[in-house]
Structure 1
């Protein structure tokens, strides 16, 4: 019986979307995570969350209605078809303008796990870190400490006008001879708009979904035969 329950658990998906919405450039999805490996074979809810995506923002929310992430896509000027592409690199320092107030924005990698006063051997040649780990941070002046960008979540949601511009590029890790790595013309003068229309409504939609009873209704298609 236990082997049969384990086989059934492996065949079933570990999550299902209980609500979806697509409007005004936003794709929204509320999801319930399921644990099928329970005594008696009855599944339980392990996690509830919601995710939203637009051309310029993406966010994730937990079951308490807390925004666990809110990411901005830093898009350039529109091309001939009106499309805008992300034009920043991981090590870029940017200026982020929220209703006229300027913040410096950067991707901060996780600190080293090594002590600074111990002689560790050098890394072996050919070692590659495939996944970048860190967080996004902001500060108003160079004399201030970096603060997690979550400090600005509410301001980004409610802002009347958001824009960004380049501050600098990390040429230590970027090959300046590669055409794709060059900064755009007028990079130190141009401000690019950030469209947050619908962001507040999208966040509210997710808040309602993660608190709804629908999150605890197992679809008939996933029930045991």
Structure 2
């Protein structure tokens, strides 16, 4: 430990270094993604930037996408060129769009940009999209009502929980001891009390089925069966 520095100072420095490395790694990955999506070579992009009087040399651009290290000027130029935000390039936000309303929704809800666009599509909010207008017409403009009912349904939490549990157990790593003598001892003990041991796949399937049941209950509430609908109508 350096003289005059506390243990906390050392820990903070290590954390800062770790965060900086993650930002650099993410920045490099995202710049590579933008370059790949553009379908252009680094040389072509460098030439276009030069002709736009915002020059970044080929070697500098190559270094940026290889290492993720850039100057504030370079970062601003690249964000403008790819029509995105510096926060996205730095990995501080998952939203590429310059639309401040989308940025705001992402910060408040944590939804990805594609998820936000999907909500706008189903709600009929994207009036500029011919496809979105067509969807709104064919669904009799009920998308917003259905989506709102789905999101606030009391069974949605149960559905999400069971999906999460199914995924967790499907990816769960079983320790070696569980398949050896220790595992056999557990099975024997369970048999003595009239129970049985559930295997990994059984547990995952159980939660998946529970998720399906929860989703089915949501659907039946949104679209009651004929008999239920009649009973509900009489009650009202």
Q: Which has the higher strand share?
A: 1
Larger RCO (alpha carbons 8 Å, 6+ apart): 1
Larger radius of gyration: 2
For the aligned pair, the TM-score class normalised by the smaller chain equals under 0.3
Query: What TM-score, normalized by structure 1, do the two folds share?
Result: 0.21
